[in-house]
């Protein structure tokens, strides 16, 4: 009952954001001056996101370092899985940068921060309300501190476990605050989209569609070409057969915009398809935190969109620095609505803080890209399970071929008997 209620609430948020984006675009086109005046709504929402960046980064990195140690101790499977996840995440981030440099999304938008949007004059009431939101904490020092704390707790062994438990509880509070902030997303998206469309007209709508289209196409090519080729070369299995086999899970993910909802089903289905329980039990849960291919592509493409739209494109050095930062920070972008936005904001704040003012447009279209992110993340984890099963000799290839062909249908009743 509880989980159904949560899914329903997330649906309402999704619908409200879409309605806000459409309404904001309409206001921007029909009443440009009113649209531009609504910019502080988007600015305020971004300020709320900035406020929560440092706590999210700190908690997720500290716990992530602990998870790496835990996964690595399970031997060959855990070590191989972590190595594969790091390589694939880096590759996906790099693909996002390459595509972003080819299509130059956001070109010509010339977004401006709120302070200069009205001839350099701020409304005193708006300024007062914006100043009520706490300032952001520097991200890079937080990241370094989190890594040091994580390694220190790791070296303490069992003595450090109570502290890790405490940080895990703090993380739950931080994520709850993040969820509360996300319920304000429709207002932020409405103001941000109204302002940018009011300032640039149809050009803004065109740029947003280009980014979304390029992102969906990049994710599709990543799944079919990169993951499909890896799956075929290593295991001999067909990516399209696997996609068909996991069809119900894709429908579930599409309806919830989260790959988390399909985790128990993925565990059961890969075991049915010949992957040993040990490999599935290690690779799938670890992959949900460390193997986020869709999120990685989204982070770098969106960062380039914002920098180009603000008229401040990143040079090669800044892009490489961003890539390195995202490799670490993206490990915390799982399991909570809005964490991807927070990670994107963290990357921009760490390298080019002035670009954060352009994130309002991403807030508006983030929900439209969330399905592709979730589907790509899920597919990446499914493929990883088969690959690592094969590399460790824990995959029955004949059973996998039979299951993926549909000759041995998955028994749905096993999900009820064995709650994964």
Which is it for the CA torsion 233, 238, 243, 247, positive or negative?
negative
The closest of 286, 219, 263, 234 to 395, measured between CA atoms, is 234
* Bridge partners (DSSP) listed for residue 123: none
Q: What is the pLDDT of residues 83-105, one digit of tens each?
A: 898 899 889 989 998 998 888 87
CA 171 to chain CA centroid, nearest Å: 17
Residues 6+ apart with CB under 8 A from 21: 189, 190, 193, 364, 365, 367, 368
Q: What percent of the chain has pLDDT over 70?
A: 85
Q: What is the rounded distance in angstroms from the CA atom of residue 120 to the CA atom of residue 114?
A: 9
The closest of 407, 412, 406, 391 to 81, measured between CA atoms, is 391
pLDDT tens series, the chain, 420 aa: 444 444 456 668 778 888 898 999 999 999 988 988 888 888 888 888 888 878 887 887 888 777 666 665 566 787 888 889 889 988 998 999 899 888 887 776 766 655 544 444 566 777 777 778 777 677 778 888 888 888 888 888 788 889 989 998 998 898 888 888 888 888 988 988 888 888 888 887 888 888 899 999 999 999 999 999 999 999 999 999 999 999 988 888 876 666 777 888 888 899 999 998 888 888 888 887 778 888 889 888 988 888 888 888 888 888 888 888 887 776 655 555 566 777 788 888 777 777 877 777 787 787 788 888 889 989 999 999 999 999 988 899 999 999 998 888 877 666 554 444
2-417 fold: 1.10.3860
Which is it for the CA torsion 68, 72, 73, 74, positive or negative?
positive
SS3 243: helix
* Bridge partners (DSSP) listed for residue 10: none
Work out the number of other CB atoms within 10 angstroms of the CB of residue 213.
12
């Amino acid at each position: 009952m509880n989980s159904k209620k949560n899914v329903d609430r997330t649906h309402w948020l999704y619908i409200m954001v879409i309605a806000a984006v459409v309404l904001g675009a309409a206001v921007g086109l029909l009443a440009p001056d009113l649209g531009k005046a609504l910019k502080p709504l988007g600015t305020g929402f971004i300020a709320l996101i900035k406020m929560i960046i440092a706590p999210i980064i700190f908690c997720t990195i500290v716990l992530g370092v602990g998870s790496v140690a835990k996964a690595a101790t399970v031997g060959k499977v855990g070590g191989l899985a972590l190595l594969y996840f790091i390589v694939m995440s880096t590759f996906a981030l790099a693909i996002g940068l390459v595509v972003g440099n080819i299509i130059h999304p956001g070109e010509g938008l010339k977004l401006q921060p709120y302070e200069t949007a009205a001839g350099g004059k701020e409304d005193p009431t708006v300024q007062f309300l914006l100043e009520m939101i706490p300032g952001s904490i520097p991200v890079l020092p937080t990241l370094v501190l989190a890594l040091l704390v994580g390694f220190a707790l790791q070296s303490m062994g069992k003595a450090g476990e109570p502290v890790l438990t405490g940080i895990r509880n703090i993380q739950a509070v931080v994520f709850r605050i993040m969820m509360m902030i996300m319920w304000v997303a429709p207002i932020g998206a409405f103001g941000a989209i109204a302002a940018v469309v009011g300032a640039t007209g149809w050009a803004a709508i065109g740029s947003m569609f280009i980014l979304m289209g390029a992102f969906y196409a990049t994710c599709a090519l990543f799944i079919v070409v990169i993951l499909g080729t890896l799956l075929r070369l290593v295991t001999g299995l067909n990516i399209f057969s696997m996609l068909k086999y996991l069809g119900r899970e894709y429908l579930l993910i599409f309806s919830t915009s989260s790959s988390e909802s399909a985790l128990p089903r993925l565990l059961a289905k890969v075991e049915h398809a010949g992957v040993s329980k040990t490999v599935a039990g290690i690779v799938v849960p670890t992959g949900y935190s460390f193997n986020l291919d869709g999120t990685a592509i989204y982070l770098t493409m969106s960062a380039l969109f914002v920098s180009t739209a603000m008229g401040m494109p990143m040079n090669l050095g800044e892009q490489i620095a961003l890539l390195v930062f995202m490799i670490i920070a993206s490990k915390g972008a799982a399991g909570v609505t809005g964490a991807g936005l927070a990670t994107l904001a963290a990357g921009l704040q760490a390298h080019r803080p002035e670009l954060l003012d352009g994130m309002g447009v991403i807030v508006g279209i983030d929900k439209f890209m969330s399905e592709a992110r979730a589907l790509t993340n899920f597919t990446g984890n499914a493929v990883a399970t088969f690959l690592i099963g094969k590399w460790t000799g824990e995959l029955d290839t004949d059973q996998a071929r039979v299951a993926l062909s549909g000759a041995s249908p998955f028994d749905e009743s096993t999900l009820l008997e064995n709650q994964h």
